[in-house]
Chain A
Amino acid sequence: MELKQLYREIVNEHNLRPSHKGDMEHPDLVLEGVNPSCGDDINLQLRIENGIITDGMFNGSGCAISQASVDMMLDQIIGQKQEDAVRLAGKFMGMIKGEPTSEADLEELDESAALQDVSHMPARVKCAVLGWHTMQEMLEHPEKAQH
């Protein structure tokens, strides 16, 4: 998919009308994710109950790809077990790094799979993975993200 089509069909909707943007009251985990080279920064907040991500929100600023990617990610991981979310992050990052991704994995990545073509845009890889990377970091190292 060429870039303009990607924006029109997927990215714009999540960038202009995000479902999960804002600040949550009493999150369990909060972590700042930054791309120092471009200045993108997001503040990701998750609520966890009995090992399940029951709610998530993000705030901050960045390019449309970074914003849309984190919004789509939250669509997907809310309601999932923590370990499933981490597993999904591994699949997403593999896909963006251009590793072979099976049809089943693409299906599991759902709407986020639309970002697959970012793997051909080296300058935008960091934008696409910022939210996923931050989520993985906060779940694997919750001590960094205690609120």
Chain B
Amino acid sequence: MSIADEYRKDFPILQKGDYIYFDNAATTQRPAQVVEAIRDFYENANANPLRGLYDWSVDATERYEAARHAVAQFIGAGEDGEIIFTRNTTESLNLVAYSYGLSHIHEGDEIVLTVMEHHSNMLPWQMVAKKNGARLVYMEPDEEGRITSEEIQNKITDKTKLVAVAQVSNVLGVTNPIREIADRAHAVGAVMVVDGAQSTPHIPVDVKALGADFFAFSGHKLMSPMGIGALYGRMELLEEMPPFLTGGEMIEYVTREDATYAPVPEKFEAGTVNAAGAVGLHAAIDYLQKVGLDRVAEQERLLTKQLMDGMKQMPYIKIYGSPDPDKHCGIVTFTIDGVHPHDTASLLNEDHVCIRAGHHCAQPLMQFLKVGSTARASLYFYNTQEEVSRFLEKLSGIRKVMGYGA
């Protein structure tokens, strides 16, 4: 039995109608086990965690902290306190930019990014650069989406104070050489920030092996509820950073004029936390580990190869990134000659196929690739070969509907 047959039944939304969901890089679907974990939290343990003196609050705190432990184990953090819960990758990266960036990056310093970053790993650094007079430097990929060693050596220099790179590009699907980039960053005394939004759901992550000083990801891209994400930070960095948001739950002692702050991680979790979201994330991590990341990758490779082989039969389709399906992490971005990606996506929607079209929150990459927008099909382990076949059949009919001979 294929992995999709085995686990697809756990996803109620995938049982509805004949929809083909190929927008997994935007958000995944949630299995019943995750929804059940959230329901169980609200029905059996709902209270404000972290400060309760009664059973329900103690239970809520335990479940919240168990989720933190699960995340720490999942991405290889040294200790649970190095995990800060946030809303999503965007908030995690903003936390690093506002708290670490504004206090450590000064006039004349350089921040190195790649041109393929999602806006969420670009705009926070633009903010830091503008406020503090620093300069942004962009590493550019070659034709197949690779950041070369030469590019890393040339762009990361003694002036570099921070390097922020996506582990997997949300457009090209390429996996960036994070360890190599981190080694270079550390050699020049810079910190390494990794955007793990697209990698965490698909490949095993070990923040220490990657050399990440900060690592951000979203729960919703790995089957958790929306509105929960996490930031890993090295403890010694987190300890000396100022808080990002201030208010409830993050204090030690407050007077009319001043306050001292709670230790890490509470210092960075102001206000009532999204405990149910964290519990859902915990359930999703358990679920993903039960499926097995090796089998997830195997299924994605199988489907991506079938998809790209099928697309290559259509000479009017251009695929972006590597020609090797193994280097796409389930993400295949493409254009059809003469057809605007929005028309492609709308026509596929008529056939109950869900894909993304547009700039994918990566406008500088679109400018670099010299395209206005692109279409993107992104797969997950619950997708099937039958779905890919049906998708290819629908795709092959589009140019005709748009008034071309073939």
Residues in chain A within 8 A of chain B (CB atoms): 2-4, 7-8, 12-13, 15-16, 37-40, 61-65, 121, 123-124, 127
Q: How far is the CB of A32 from chain B (nearest CB, A)?
A: 14
The CA-CA distance from A7 to B372 in the complex, in Å, is 21
Complex contacts, A38 vs chain B, CB 8 Å: 342, 357-358, 373
Count of A-B residue pairs with CB < 8 Å: 51
Q: B187 contacts the other chain (Cβ, under 8 Å)?
A: no
- A-B contact sample (14 more), CB < 8 A, given A12-B402, A62-B340, A123-B342: A3-B346, A3-B350, A4-B347, A7-B343, A7-B347, A7-B402, A13-B403, A38-B358, A38-B373, A39-B372, A63-B340, A63-B343, A64-B339, A124-B342
Q: A3-B347, A38-B358 are in contact. Are A64 and B373 (CB under 8 A)?
A: no
How many chain B residues touch A (CB < 8 A): the figure is 17
Complex contacts, A124 vs chain B, CB 8 Å: 342, 346
Q: B282 contacts the other chain (Cβ, under 8 Å)?
A: no
The CA-CA distance from A147 to B399 in the complex, in Å, is 38
Q: How far is the CB of A42 from chain B (nearest CB, A)?
A: 12
In the complex, 12 of the A-B residue pairs with CB atoms within 8 angstroms, ordered by the A residue number, are A4-B347, A4-B401, A7-B347, A7-B402, A37-B358, A38-B342, A38-B358, A38-B373, A39-B359, A64-B339, A124-B346, A127-B342
Q: Name which residue of chain B comes closest to A7, CB basis.
A: B401
Q: How far is the CB of A37 from chain B (nearest CB, A)?
A: 7
- Whether the Cβ atoms of B342 and A63 lie closer than 8 Å is yes
- Whether the Cβ atoms of B342 and A12 lie closer than 8 Å is no
Complex contacts, A127 vs chain B, CB 8 Å: 342
Of A2, A39, A63, the residue contacting B350 (CB under 8 A) is A2
The CA-CA distance from A141 to B55 in the complex, in Å, is 65
Complex contacts, B342 vs chain A, CB 8 Å: 38, 40, 63, 65, 123-124, 127
Q: Name which residue of chain A comes closest to B403, CB basis.
A: A12
The CA-CA distance from A121 to B343 in the complex, in Å, is 12
Q: How far is the CB of A125 from chain B (nearest CB, A)?
A: 12
Q: How far is the CB of A10 from chain B (nearest CB, A)?
A: 11
Complex contacts, A64 vs chain B, CB 8 Å: 339-340, 343, 402
B350, B357, B403 — which one has the most chain A CB atoms within 10 A of its CB?
A: B403
Complex contacts, B343 vs chain A, CB 8 Å: 7, 63-65
List residues of B (322-374) whose CB comes within 8 Å of A's CBs. 339-343, 346-347, 350, 357-359, 366, 372-373
Q: Name which residue of chain A comes closest to B338, CB basis.
A: A16
Complex contacts, A65 vs chain B, CB 8 Å: 342-343
Complex contacts, B341 vs chain A, CB 8 Å: 63
- Whether the Cβ atoms of A8 and B401 lie closer than 8 Å is yes
Q: A4-B350, A39-B358 are in contact. Are A61 and B372 (CB under 8 A)?
A: yes
The CA-CA distance from A37 to B347 in the complex, in Å, is 19
Q: Name which residue of chain A comes closest to B373, CB basis.
A: A39
Q: Name which residue of chain A comes closest to B363, CB basis.
A: A39
The CA-CA distance from A56 to B52 in the complex, in Å, is 70
Q: How far is the CB of A124 from chain B (nearest CB, A)?
A: 6
Q: How far is the CB of B351 from chain A (nearest CB, A)?
A: 9
The CA-CA distance from A3 to B401 in the complex, in Å, is 10
Complex contacts, A15 vs chain B, CB 8 Å: 402-403
Q: How far is the CB of B400 from chain A (nearest CB, A)?
A: 9
B346, B350, B357 — which one has the most chain A CB atoms within 10 A of its CB?
A: B346
For the complex of A and B, the 10 pairs showing the least CB-CB separation, nearest first, are A12-B403, A63-B340, A63-B342, A39-B372, A39-B373, A64-B343, A63-B343, A3-B350, A16-B403, A4-B401
Q: How far is the CB of B389 from chain A (nearest CB, A)?
A: 21
Complex contacts, A8 vs chain B, CB 8 Å: 401, 403
The CA-CA distance from A65 to B347 in the complex, in Å, is 12
- Whether the Cβ atoms of B372 and A121 lie closer than 8 Å is no
Q: Name which residue of chain A comes closest to B366, CB basis.
A: A39
Complex contacts, A61 vs chain B, CB 8 Å: 340, 372
The CA-CA distance from A12 to B340 in the complex, in Å, is 12
Q: How far is the CB of A96 from chain B (nearest CB, A)?
A: 15
Q: How far is the CB of B394 from chain A (nearest CB, A)?
A: 11
Q: How far is the CB of B334 from chain A (nearest CB, A)?
A: 16
Q: How far is the CB of B405 from chain A (nearest CB, A)?
A: 11
Q: How far is the CB of B340 from chain A (nearest CB, A)?
A: 4
Complex contacts, A39 vs chain B, CB 8 Å: 358-359, 366, 372-373
The CA-CA distance from A53 to B149 in the complex, in Å, is 59
List residues of B (367-406) whose CB comes within 8 Å of A's CBs. 372-373, 401-403
Q: How far is the CB of A83 from chain B (nearest CB, A)?
A: 33
Complex contacts, B373 vs chain A, CB 8 Å: 38-39
